[in-house]
Structure formats: C-alpha cells, structure tokens
Amino acid sequence: MNREKAHLLKLSVSVAFISISIIAFQLSLIHILSIIQWYHFAYMIISVALLGFGAAGTFISLFRSRMLKNIDSLLPVFMLISGLFMALSVSVSQSELFRFDSYKLFFDFSNIWKLVATYLVFFLPFFFGALSIGLIFVKYVKNIGTFYFANMFGSGIGGLAAVMLMWFFMPEKLSVFISFLAAFAGLLIIPRKLRSEFSIIISFVIAVLVYLYINPGNLHLSEYKSLSKTLNLPGSKIIREESSPYGLIDVVQSSHIRYAPGLSIKFPGIVSLDNAVFNNGNWYGALVPFKKDSTDYFNYTTEYFPYLISKRKDILILGAGTGRQIISAIKSNASTITAVEQNKAVTKLLMNELAGEADSIFNREEVLPQNISPRTYLLKTPAKFDLISLPVIGSFGGSSGLFALQEQYDLTKEAFSEMLGRLNNDGSITISTWIDYPYRKPLKILSTVTEMHYDRGIKNTDEFVAAIKNWNTITFAIKRTPFNNEEIKIIRDFCRMMNFDPVILPGIKADEREKFNKLQDKSFYLLIDRILASPEEREKLYSEYPFNIKPATDDKPYFSQFLRWGSISRLTEFFGNQSVPFFEVGYILLYLTFIQIVILALIFIILPLFKLGWKTGNKFWALVYFSGLGIGYMFIEIIFIQRFTLYFGNVIYAAAAVVSLMLISSGFGSLVSQKLQAKPNRLVGIIFIIIISLIIHTIFLSFLLKTTIVFTLPIKIVFTTLLIAPSAFLMGMPFPLGLRLLSERNDNQVPWAWGINGLFSVISVVLATIIAIELGFVWVMILASGAYALSLFINIKKT
C-alpha cells in the first residue's frame, strides 16, 4: 500500500474513532443530564451544544487557508482537545461555579448565566471534534466518500456502543471512558516528525483522563428531584444503584416513604413502605412488601372498585413498574397476572437482587413478566383478559408538563381500542389519574374513551364507563358491555363506605357527585357531561376549551400535551402571566430550544458570508441543497425511530438499532458514491429514487410492520434491515457527491456547506418534534420528502 493510501486509511480510522466518541458522548450526556436535571432541560442543553458542528463549519470557513496550512498538527490537537473537554465538561459543569439547578430558573433568572455557561462547556467537545472532521472533509474533499463513510460508520457504531456501555459503566465514568476514544483518534494521526513536540500535550491529556477516570466526582442532582428530597428524610439511604440504558436506577430505603394514590380518608391503618425505586432521580415506584396487613390499604383506594364488580381471573397490567398493581391482582386471587414493563433493568432487579425487598411478587407462579412496551404487547398477543390495568397517569403535584413531549402510545385512541378488543365479555379497563387543575387529564381520558367507543359503534359511552373520585384522584372503569344494576349498586355502596363520589355512572344524579369531595370549580362535571353528550358537543368543547383535550392518536401520541397557543391570552387573563408557562414547561422549553438554535444557526450561517461574499458562487444552491439534505435525513431518522419503537417494543434498542443501521448503510452508500461522478443530473437521479422510496414507505410501512409484528426477534431484525438499509444506502450518497461537486466549483465554500448541513440536522430534530406534536408524524414524513424534493429541484435548475 503506498504512502498516500496508508495515510488516508489512518485518517479514515481516526475519523471513525472521533465519530464513535462524539455520538457516544452525546448519548452519555443525555443520560447524565437527565439524571441531574430534567429530560427537557437535558434536551435543550444538548441541542445547543450540538451546534458545535455547525459552528465548526463556520470557523473553518473563516480561517480556512491558515488551518489547511497547519492541518497536520491541528488535526491531532483538535481531537485531543475534544477528548479532554469530553472528560472535563461533566466535572466542570458540576463545579460550584457552574452548577445550576434548572428548577431555580422558575424564580431566579440570575441563574441564566450559569445555563449559558453550561451550554458553552458542553459545546466545546462537539466543536473541536467537528473541527477535526470538517478539516479532513475540506482538505480531502476528493475522497469525501471514504471519509464520510468513516464518519457515518463510526457514528453508527458509537450509538450502539453507548447503549451497551450504559449497562457496564456508571454515568460519571462513561463520558470519561468515551473521551479515551477521542484521544486515541488524535494519537493515531500525530505526524512522526512532531511526536516529540506532542509528547507534553499527550502526557497532559492522558494524565487528566486517567485522573478523571479514577476520580470522576459525584453527580449533583437538583435538590428538587424526588430522589434528592427523599434522601433528605432521616435514615434514608441508597441501598442499590445500577446504570442501564433505561436510566440510573436508585433503590432507597426509608421508613418515611408514603405512597398510596386514591386512598380513602376512611382508611384507619398505617401505610408502611420501606423502599422505593427512582429512575434518573425521578420517582419510579414503591416496593410494597406483600404481607397481608401491610397491603390492606389497597382495598381502600379508588383503584380497587373494578375488582369489586366482577371476578378477575386473568389480569393484564400495562406498565407494571415496581409491582404495586400486581399486589392488588394477587389479593383478588387472579389465576394469571401478565405484568408488562418496558424497563428491563427494573424488572431484572425485582426478580433477582431485590426479590427479597419486593417479596418476590415477580417470581410468583401466577405472575408472568413481559419486558416489552405495553402497546407492542397488545399488538402481539391474542389473549383476552378480565381486567386490563394501566398505571396512574402523571404524578402527584403535577409534572409541570414535563411529559408533554413524551410519546405515550398506551394512551392513544388506537391503544384503547386494542385494549377493549382484548377484554372478555365482563372485562374492564381501569385507569386512574390525579385530578389536575385546570382540568385536563381526566377530560382527555374521557374524550379518548368516548371517541374510541364512537368509532366502534358505541354511541352511549355513559352506559359503559364508570368513574369515581376522592379528593385528588379519579379512577375510570371502561367495560365492553353496559354496567348492570348489580354492578352499579356495588359501586355506589363502595363509594358510600369509602367517602368516594361517583362521577360517571349510569343513572347518576347531580348531588351524588359531591357528597364527600367537593370541587370549588364545578365546571368539571359540566365538561364531563359535554364530552359524553354527542360528537357535535364534543367538537364544540374542543374548540372552546383553552386546553387541548382531544384524544391522542398514534400519529400524534402526545397525551400530556395540553397547551394551545391560541389560548395563551385567555389563560393569562385567568391565571396571571406568571402561572401560564408552568402549565406546560416541557412544551414551552421545546419552542425555546427551537428559537435559540435557529438564532444561533443563522449567526453561524451568515458569519462566513462576510468573508465568502454575499452574491458570488453557488451559495444559494449550497444553502438549499445541504439544508434540504440535513432536514430530510433527520426527519426520516425520527420517523423510523417512531415506527420501529412500537415494532420492537423497546424504545432504547429500537432507537439505537434504527440510527445505527441508517448511519452504517448511509456510510456504505457514501463509499460507493466515491466511484460515481459528481454531476447535477446524477444527484437528481439519486434523490428522485430516494423520494420514491419515501413515498413507498409512507404508504406501506405501517401495514408491513403491523403484519410482521408477531414474528420472532431475529426475523424482525432481518425485516427491519431490508426495510431501512436500501433507502439509507441511497440517502448516504447525495451529501458526499454534493460536496465534491461544490469543491469543483467553489472549493472555499465546502466548509460552509458542511456547516449548513450540520446546523440543519440539529434544527431538524427539534423541528420534527414540533411538527409531530402540532400536525402528526405523517406530516414529518411528507415534509421529509419535501426537503429532499427541494434538494432535487435546485439541481434540476443546475442541469
């Protein structure tokens, strides 16, 4: 192999390793920030940090010739610095000077500067890593296909690697471990003649990395997270801690933990819990010791009434968590209890290491644990049940809209329809929620059930649904057949005994609804009656009510998203402008993130134009072409993640598999593109085929996935590869071909174009989420095709 080829190979390997480290670091950062802050703040911080890619393109544009002149020494330096910052960033962000608590932003805006500093701290590793990749792309643009392959392949491996490594490394060590990969990438390409000059830098970087690996420091959780608050209670301590891709699990022992949603005020005993499980610092569930007297309180909760109205032999629990609902099922002498829980790490703990603390309820003969997403289980199983139980929605005290962006496939209209189809004749679905104010969750559950019934030909939902409330919780029972008189009497008697009030019951009278638990705002009952009244009345309510209470669907599976922009002024009038943002913090943060990154992206795009000139060259073509590619690719990635999450029944592995498969396939596409001539008509042809494949996906993908969901995992993996790989292969070609084409015309615009692609990729992730929430995933797919169409048309113009 001649020298030049050997050099290119070494550079490719280096690009692969820096790419592995960048993606793995990104995932580990999401993991860490979700633990110490809340997920949406993690999302915001990382979105801004990822602009490091675009900023690198801008930087190279502005200092191109100087950087290319010193590329041999700069490349390893950038990679080493990237590695160094990866290792340091977490510790620095946790230091007294920089540490901020996102919760305090609610009241103390002076913390904003700490947030900005945090952005910068996490921006630097991505910036320097991207600088090295960008410089290589610019210098060796004629071999862009090879280097882009290395970049994509490395990124794909990085995603898989990060998910695997999360099982073995605690979060604070993971980011440091990953930084060694970045450092290795730099070490690999230190020019022989500069080795002695580099020896000090190398020694320093390695020493710091080793030190930080041995002493990573502790992660400081927000003092307002459930775990922090629980650890403040006397005698509380963490008895077990485990890391997994599902999050950081902490098991806490404390005699002061109280958790009994929907408990009657008439319960005379003591609720004793000793242990609780937290995931990423958030409450996950209590470990309820299964001793007869300690679990008697279950019979005093609103959740118990579905057990009273009929014998429950075969029970399905969707979202079994730590097993609280399993205990109710055991106490009712169920023959089989299918406990579906997506978090494999928690179930594994409860069946093994914590079996004692959980009284081995998961190991009982009648309990059948299933580690799969609840919705996927429903799609796969032909079994029927006497009771299908969902977990309590939301958290006590509200989650301040922090679930607004979370896809909740178990709470869509289609999900309820599938659940109803899985019931025996006398079976019920049961679901509870906290009664929030302003009223939202109970109304949305009811509208979802009512519309689901209507779609199935059931026009009188009030005959098939019962709901009872106490002072803070409401529990619904949804049947396949109408409630009979005996069942109605049982429910009324239960309410009388427990100081509960029926809210929905066939033949209910107005004064029954508030015998024991009054609401000052009685519009709650009016709103319920309007939902039950008729489709026309329901539609009218949807448009009048300031919050979105329309059912979530599989296309827009955002049950907890309630805010309507059009109602902001009315809400401000009622609640004061200080309160409004706090209804839907997650949703507001999403838009705030979008605004921040668009503004920054515009700055990064515009800055180089001061040097490159505003009018000359192929700038308009480059802007449209590369932004279209960036948007199209990321939108497709998000659609595939969404579709295959349900298919595989596990969001973590589905996302890792889909992203890695796409990146690796695109990498091979890029490699093959190296053999092709970079011509506009070639770009047109390839993009045209991509658009056709996307249209085929739009039409057939859902059907294909639904049909094959029952297959075994190996077959599903093969099928997924066949579905994704060909399109992704093609999608890997336009970018390197476009860069080569641009370099033939305006070489100095290459870094700018690369930066644009990077910036729009980051913007696209946030934009796709916004579009999915506002319009649905179908529109994300349509707009993805539209983005590729833009890139196609701009090349037709060029031919």
Partner 1 sequence: MNLVTGEKKMRLILSFLMSTIVLVYSCSAQDDKYIVDREAMVNRQIEDRGINNPATLQSMKTVPRDKFVPPDLIERAYDDRPLPIGYGQTISQPYIVAYMTAAIDPDIEYKVLEIGTGSGYQAAVLSEIVSEVYTIEIIKELFNSASERLSRLGYENVICKNADGYYGWEEYAPFDAIIVTAAAEYIPPPLIEQLKEGGKMIIPVGSPYLNQTLILVEKEGDDLTTTSLLPVRFVPFTRGK
**Residues near partner 1 (CB under 8 A):** 103-104, 106-108, 223-225, 228-229, 232-234, 256, 258-263, 265-271, 396-398, 400, 435, 437-439, 470-472, 499, 516-523, 526-527, 530, 541, 544-545, 574-576, 578-579, 582-583
Q: Quote the DSSP letter at residue 392.
A: P
Closer CB to partner 1, residue 256 or residue 706?
A: 256
Q: What six digits make up the tokens of 657?
A: 């598999």
User: In whole angstroms, what is the distance from residue 340 CA to residue 390 CA?
Assistant: 10
Contacts by 273-277, CB closer than 8 A, 24 or more apart: 274/357, 275/239, 275/251, 275/354, 275/357, 276/230, 276/251, 276/252, 276/322, 277/249, 277/250, 277/251, 277/252, 277/322, 277/346, 277/349
Identity of the residue, 578 or 799, whose beta carbon is nearer to partner 1 in the bound complex: 578
Rounded distance between C-alpha atoms, residue 274 and residue 256, angstroms: 8
Q: Least CB distance from residue 545 to partner 1, whole Å?
A: 8
Nearer to partner 1 by C-beta: 385 or 434?
434
When the beta carbons of 39 and 647 are compared against partner 1, the nearer one is 39
Closer residue to partner 1, CB minimum distance, 237 or 311 = 237
Min dist CB 260 to partner 1, Å, is 5
Q: Which is nearer to partner 1, 402 or 730 (by Cβ)?
A: 402
Question: How many residues does this entry show for the chain?
Answer: 799
Pick the closer one to partner 1 by CB: 376 or 399: 399
CB of 97 to partner 1, least distance (A): 16
* Residues 6+ positions from 677 with CB-CB distance below 8 Å: none
Residue nearer to partner 1 on the CB measure, 451 or 501: 501
**Least separation in angstroms between CB 253 and partner 1:** 15
Q: Which residues pair with 286 in a beta bridge?
A: 276
Instruction: Output the smallest distance, CB 537 to partner 1, in A.
Output: 9
Contact indicator for 378, 520 with CB cutoff of 8 Å = no
Sorted by sequence, the CB contacts under 8 Å of residue 287 that are 6+ apart come out as: 251, 273, 274, 275, 276, 277, 322, 323, 350, 354, 357, 358
Q: What is the rounded distance in angstroms from the CA atom of residue 326 to the CA atom of residue 657?
A: 32
User: ω before 734 within 30° of 0 (cis)?
Assistant: no
Q: Are strands 314-318 and 385-389 parallel, antiparallel or unpaired?
A: parallel
* In the complex, minimum distance from the CB of residue 228 to partner 1, in angstroms, rounded to a whole number: 5
Taking phi first (over 0 means left), then psi (-120 to 50 degrees means alpha), and beta for anything else, what does residue 398 get?
left
Query: Shortest Cβ distance from residue 95 to partner 1 (Å)?
Result: 19
The string of DSSP letters for 777-796 reads HHHHHHHHHHHHHHHHHHHH
CB of 89 to partner 1, least distance (A): 26
Nearer to partner 1, 269 or 685 (CB): 269
Let me know: does 77 contact 186? Beta carbons within 8 Å: yes
Tokens of 613: 């000139």
- Min dist CB 493 to partner 1, Å, is 17
Shortest Cβ 432–partner 1 spacing (Å): 12
CB closer to partner 1 out of 98 and 224: 224
**Nearest distance, CB of residue 541 and partner 1, angstroms:** 8
Q: Could you tell me the smallest distance in angstroms from the CB atom of residue 323 to partner 1?
A: 18
Q: Which two tokens stand for residue 242?
A: 């485990």
- Identity of the residue, 167 or 396, whose beta carbon is nearer to partner 1 in the bound complex: 396
Give least dist CB 181 to partner 1, A: 37
Rounded distance between C-alpha atoms, residue 12 and residue 17, angstroms: 9
Q: Which is nearer to partner 1, 230 or 371 (CB)?
A: 230
Contact yes or no for 324/285 (Cβ under 8 A): yes
Helix (H, G, I), strand (E, B) or coil at 231: helix
The residue type at 143: N
Q: CB nearer to partner 1: give 170 or 233.
A: 233
Q: Element (H or E) spanning 428, and its range?
A: strand 423-434
Query: Which CB contacts under 8 angstroms, 24+ apart, belong to 615-620?
Result: 617/745, 617/746, 617/749, 618/742, 618/745, 618/746, 618/749, 619/749, 619/752, 620/794
In whole angstroms, give the CA distance from residue 115 to residue 127.
Answer: 18
Q: Which residue from 30, 39, 28 is spatially nearest to 102, judged by alpha carbons?
A: 39
Taking the complex as a whole, the smallest distance from the CB of residue 582 to partner 1 amounts, in Å, to 4
Which are the contacts of 512, defined by CB distance < 8 A and separation ≥ 6?
492, 501, 502, 505
**Do residues 499 and 516 make contact, with C-beta atoms less than 8 angstroms apart?**
yes
Q: What minimum distance in Å lies between the beta carbon of 286 and partner 1?
A: 11
Instruction: Report the first-to-last Cα separation within the chain, whole angstroms.
Output: 39
Q: Which is nearer to partner 1, 106 or 213 (by Cβ)?
A: 106
CA torsion 762-764-768-769 (nearest 10°) is: 20
Nearer of residues 547 and 735 to partner 1, judged by Cβ = 547
CB of 229 to partner 1, least distance (A): 4
For partner 1, the closer CB: 223 or 241 = 223
What residue type is 289 in one-letter code? Answer: P
Query: Least distance (Å) from partner 1 to the CB of residue 410?
Result: 22
Q: CA geometry: angle at 283 spanning 282 and 286, to 5°?
A: 155
Residue with tokens 């993640």: 641
User: Among 693, 613, 481, 741, which Cα is nearest to 62's?
Assistant: 613
Kindly state the smallest distance separating residue 48's Cβ from partner 1, in Å.
23
Nearer to partner 1, 36 or 185 (CB): 36
In the bound state with partner 1, the residue whose beta carbon lies nearer, of 455 and 521, is 521
Which is nearest to 632 in space by CA: 738, 786, 472?
Answer: 786
